[in-house]
A and B are shown apart, each in its own frame.
Chain A
Amino acid sequence: MSFLSIRGLHKRYAATPIFSDINCEIAQGEFVTLLGPSGCGKSTLLRCIAGLTEVNGGQILLDGQDLVPISPQQRGIGMVFQSYALFPNMSVAQNVAFGLRMQKVAPAESAQRVADALRMVELHEFANRYPQQLSGGQCQRVALARSLVTRPRVLLLDEPLSALDARIRKHLREQIRSIQQELGLTTIFVTHDQEEALVMSDRIFLMNAGKIVQSGAAETLYTAPVDAFAAGFIGNYNLLDADAASRLLQRPINSRVAIRPESIQLDANGTIDAQVRSHSLLGNVIRYRVEAYGVELLVDVLNRSPADLLHNGQAIALHIEAQAIQEVA
Chain B
Amino acid sequence: MSRAELTATSLYHRSVVWLLLLILLLPLAGTLLYSLSSSWSATILPDGLTFKWYLALWSDARFLAAFGRSLLVCCGALVLAVVLILPLLFVTHYYFPKLDGLMNLLILLPFAVPPVVSSVGLLQLYGSGPLAMVGTPWILLGCYFTVALPFMYRAITNNLQAINLPDLMDAAHLLGASTWQAAWLVVLPNLRKGLMVSLFLSFSFLFGEFVFANLLVGTRYETLQVYLNNMRNSSGHFNSALVISYFFFVLLFTWAANRLNKDPS
Contacts and interface: CB of A to CB of B under 8 A. Distances in A.
B171 A85 contact: yes
A81 B175 contact: no
A135 interface: no
Contact of B173 (A52, A86, A103, A143): A52
A146 B170 contact: no
B130 interface: no
A73 B173 contact: yes
A130 B190 CA distance: 13
A79 B170 CA distance: 9
Given A52-B170, A102-B181, A88 B175 contact: no
Interface in A136-173: 143, 146-147, 150
Contacts of B172: 87, 98
Contacts of B32: none
B129 interface: no
B38 to A, nearest CB: 54
A102 B175 contact: yes
Given A51-B174, A87-B190, A146-B175, 17 more contacts: A47-B170, A50-B174, A52-B170, A72-B173, A73-B173, A73-B174, A73-B178, A79-B174, A81-B167, A81-B170, A81-B171, A85-B168, A87-B168, A87-B172, A88-B190, A98-B185, A147-B175
Interface in B28-64: none
B114 interface: no
B170 A102 contact: no
Contacts of A86: 171
A73 B176 contact: yes
Contacts of A88: 163, 190
Contacts of B75: none
A72 B173 CA distance: 6
Interface in A41-89: 47, 50-52, 72-73, 75, 77-79, 81, 83, 85-89
B205 to A, nearest CB: 28
Interface string B170-193: 111111111001000110011010
A320 B265 CA distance: 63
A151 B46 CA distance: 78
A99 interface: yes
Contacts of A50: 170, 174
A89 B177 contact: no
13 contacts: A50-B174, A73-B176, A73-B177, A73-B178, A79-B170, A79-B171, A83-B167, A85-B167, A85-B168, A87-B186, A87-B190, A99-B176, A130-B265
Nearest to A84: B167
Interface string A224-247: 000000000000000000000000
User: Lowest 8 CB-CB distances: which A-B pairs, in order?
Assistant: A102-B176, A99-B175, A89-B189, A85-B171, A85-B167, A72-B173, A83-B167, A73-B176
Contacts of A130: 265
A45 to B, nearest CB: 15
B177 A102 contact: yes
A194 to B, nearest CB: 25
B164 interface: yes
Range of interface residues on B (Cβ < 8 Å): 20 to 34
A83 B176 contact: no
Interface string A80-124: 010101111100000000110011000000000000000000000
Contacts of B189: 89
A73 B173 CA distance: 6
Given A85-B168, A88-B190, A98 B163 contact: no
B164 A85 contact: yes
Nearest to A81: B167
A103 B176 contact: yes
Residue in A47, A50, A81 whose Cβ sees the most chain B Cβ within 10 Å: A81
Among B170, B174, B186, residue most surrounded by chain A Cβ atoms (within 10 Å): B174
A72 B172 CA distance: 10
A87 to B, nearest CB: 5
Contacts of A51: 174
Nearest to A75: B174
Nearest to A94: B185
A72 B190 CA distance: 23
Nearest to A82: B167
Contacts of A72: 170, 173-174
Contacts of B163: 88
> Which of B164, B173, B190 is most buried by chain A, counting CB atoms within 10 A of its CB?
B173
A155 to B, nearest CB: 11
A71 B167 CA distance: 17
User: Counting chain B CB atoms within 10 Å of each CB, which of A72, A86, A143, A146 scores highest?
Assistant: A72
Contacts of A146: 171, 175
A81 to B, nearest CB: 5
Nearest to A72: B173
Nearest to B189: A89
A89 B186 contact: yes
B175 A98 contact: yes
B97 to A, nearest CB: 14
A85 B170 contact: yes
Interface-central residue, A47, A79, A98, A143, by most chain B CB under 10 Å:
A98
Contacts of A73: 173-174, 176-178
A147 B176 CA distance: 11
B156 to A, nearest CB: 15
